[in-house]
């Protein structure tokens, strides 16, 4: 890629000093012990709580026990666990030992797990008991998988001799473990891409990436501090959730509330009001920072159980995963008095690199570059686009992944020197705010002009009868591509041809005529990844 030109819109990167010899887990734990925060609660889950001192001991016990499983530094292990206290123990314990944890989505199918086990060559699987059925029989199919360790179950699971109890493994370790002699630039952990546009890719991150996201985004943008109690509806296996629920709170000694169950509005409300889990209720405290995704915020606002403003203790909320519809952000702020800082990150960049800021929120946009990240928009000719024009988004920043595992061609397409190709299209306005224009492979060419699915979706979603919408391209009788909308209604029983026609006219009134959906199909739900991204490829038929 060419050198950064004068047209690039970026912020002078702050310097985050990380030594050459560096272990991410050791840093995140020791910084809190040295600051005297050993007795402060680090994590709360449905079973109890864990202080920073207890976390340090449990991580050391876990790390010291890995050698007994035949693991050595640089070996890989798979972590497929629900969001409980055992998750950070396994993740941090592996990293401290120099073993590479591969964190995976907990909502996949057996064939997906078989693919990931084979691809990563993970030697040990750490899995929650509730998820174990999805792995039945895989030990015989994947020759590199030597052991399975089950979390949350007494004794062996399903009578399998190869299954061990997670708590027993931790209890058998030593409370004092010297961190592996790792360096800042070596592989630390993997995350698999969500697979919204194809087979998932093992995305390899290095030790320095975790703390970079905290120093560049959590501190200056969220303003995270030691007194915060944070709750992330996005799960820890997701890059967004990993920062929200582990890296960010640990970087300053805050407390994170973990939730194993699916983030329904009702389950989220219980956490936000401090009614559950029991350990949080005993503290008589409520989360001050809430991390969500657009789909969840829309569902929360549509719920009759939405808490009154005085029941909440929030000072800030964030959204990522997909662009936040302006109507959702505005309504949430009207109801709570709290801004949603909508941003965009990626598995490849590990966390948010473009975001709105407190007091400067412009709903309908994704904000401005996060300090420390450089952004540019390129046209089809590879040149910078002008203000107001759609371009492919490229990011330069220190948290970029090293590569996709065993995917040389895809790695070269995505990681281009100091730049990472996002696969998203954006428009930048004269004030430096970026507005999402859809995925590069989702953009529609209608009447010779680009149409952003998200722009049409946002227009449809602003209709009072609509909960959410997805727009894809469909061929008309002349085989020309036109927008087609799949719509979820707040009251599904009101679906009718008349309402479909009303929605078409409604969009025509808001957007250029060629952008309106020629077809409107009402559906009960939209296909999505576990992290809330709409899988438009499943709607194309």
Decide if pLDDT at 479 tops 60. yes
Taking a C-beta distance cutoff of 8 angstroms, is the pair 354, 369 a contact? yes
Q: What is the mean pLDDT of the chain?
A: 92
Which helix (H) or strand (E) covers residue 82, if one does? none
Of 87, 81, 136, the closest CA to residue 105 belongs to: 81
For residue range 145-201, list pLDDT tens digits in order: 999 999 985 433 444 434 458 999 999 999 999 999 999 999 999 999 864 445 789
Taking a C-beta distance cutoff of 8 angstroms, is the pair 101, 77 a contact? yes
Tokens for 181, please give them.
């002699």
| H-type alpha helices, 194-325 | 207-213, 239-242, 248-252, 265-272, 278-283, 294-302
For residue range 46-96, list pLDDT tens digits in order: 999 999 999 999 999 999 999 999 999 999 999 999 999 999 999 999 999
Decide if pLDDT at 116 tops 70. yes
Decide if pLDDT at 8 tops 60. no
For residue range 234-249, list pLDDT tens digits in order: 999 999 999 999 999 9
Which helix (H) or strand (E) covers residue 124, if one does? strand 124-128
Domain positions in the chain = 51-192, 444-538
Q: What are phi and psi of 180, to 5 degrees?
A: -60, 150
Strand partners, 367: 434
For residue range 267-311, list pLDDT tens digits in order: 999 999 999 999 999 999 999 999 999 889 989 999 999 999 999
HSE at residue 144, side-chain half, CA atoms within 13 A, is 15
Tokens for 443, please give them.
């953009």
Domain 444-538 indexed as CATH 3.30.300.30: yes
Q: What are phi and psi of 162, to 5 degrees?
A: -80, -5
**Architecture of the structural domain at 51-192:** 3-Layer(aba) Sandwich (3.40)
Model-level pTM?
Answer: 0.86
- What number is the average pLDDT over the span 115-123? 97
**Dist. CA 245–CA 190, nearest whole Å:** 17
**Dist. CA 35–CA 512, nearest whole Å:** 57
The size of the chain, in residues, is 541
Tokens for 374, please give them.
């450089």
Residues with Cβ within 8 Å of 95's Cβ and at least 6 positions away in sequence, in order, are 23, 24, 25, 101, 188, 189, 207
Give Cα 380 distance to the centre of its chain.
29
């Amino acid at each position: 890629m060419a050198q950064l030109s004068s047209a690039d819109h970026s912020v002078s990167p702050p310097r985050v000093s990380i030594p050459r010899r560096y272990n991410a887990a050791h840093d995140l734990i020791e910084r809190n012990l040295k600051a005297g925060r050993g007795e402060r609660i680090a994590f709360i889950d449905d079973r109890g709580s864990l202080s920073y001192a207890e976390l340090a001991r449990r991580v050391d016990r876990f790390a010291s026990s890995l050698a007994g499983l035949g693991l050595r530094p640089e070996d890989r292990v798979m972590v497929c666990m629900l969001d409980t206290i055992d998750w950070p123990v396994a993740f941090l314990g592996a990293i401290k030992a120099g073993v590479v944890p591969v964190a995976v989505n907990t909502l996949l199918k057996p064939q997906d797990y078989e693919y990931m086990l084979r691809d990563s060559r993970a030697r040990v699987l750490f899995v929650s008991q509730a998820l174990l059925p999805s792995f039945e029989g895989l030990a015989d199919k994947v020759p590199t998988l030597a052991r399975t360790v089950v979390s949350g179950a007494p004794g062996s699971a399903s009578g399998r001799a190869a299954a061990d109890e997670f708590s027993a493994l931790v209890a058998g370790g030593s409370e004092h473990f010297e961190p592996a002699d790792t360096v800042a630039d070596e592989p630390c952990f993997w995350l698999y891409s969500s697979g919204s546009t194809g087979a998932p890719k093992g995305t390899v991150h290095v030790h320095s990436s975790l703390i970079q996201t905290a120093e560049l985004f959590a501190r200056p943008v969220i303003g995270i501090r030691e007194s915060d109690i944070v709750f992330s509806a996005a799960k820890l296996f997701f890059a967004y959730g990993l920062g929200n629920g582990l890296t960010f709170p640990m970087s300053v000694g805050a407390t994170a509330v973990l939730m194993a169950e699916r983030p329904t509005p009702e389950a989220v409300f219980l956490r936000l009001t401090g009614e559950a889990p029991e350990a949080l209720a005993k503290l008589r405290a409520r989360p001050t920072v809430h991390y969500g995704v657009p789909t969840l915020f829309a569902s929360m606002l549509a719920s009759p159980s939405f808490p009154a403003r005085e029941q909440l203790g929030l000072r800030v909320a964030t959204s990522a995963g997909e662009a936040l519809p302006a109507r959702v952000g505005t309504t949430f702020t009207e109801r709570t008095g709290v801004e949603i800082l909508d941003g965009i990150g990626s598995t490849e960049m590990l966390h948010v690199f473009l975001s709105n800021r407190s007091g400067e929120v412009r709903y309908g946009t994704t904000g401005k570059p996060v300090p420390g990240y450089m952004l540019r928009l390129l046209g089809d000719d590879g040149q910078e686009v002008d203000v107001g024009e759609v371009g492919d988004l490229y990011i330069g920043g220190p948290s970029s992944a090293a590569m996709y595992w065993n995917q040389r061609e895809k790695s070269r397409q995505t990681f281009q020197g100091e730049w990472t190709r996002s696969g998203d299209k954006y428009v930048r306005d004269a004030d430096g705010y970026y507005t999402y224009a859809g995925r590069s492979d989702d953009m529609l060419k209608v009447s010779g002009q680009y149409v952003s699915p998200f722009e049409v979706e946002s227009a449809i979603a602003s209709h009072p009868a609509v909960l959410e919408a997805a727009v894809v391209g469909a061929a008309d009788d002349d085989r020309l591509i036109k927008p087609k909308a799949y719509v979820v209604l707040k009251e599904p029983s009101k679906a009718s041809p008349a309402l479909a026609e009303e929605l078409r006219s409604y969009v025509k009134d808001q957007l250029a005529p060629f952008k309106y959906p020629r077809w409107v199909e009402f559906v009960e739900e939209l296909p999505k990844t576990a992290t809330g991204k709409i899988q438009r490829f499943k709607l194309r038929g």
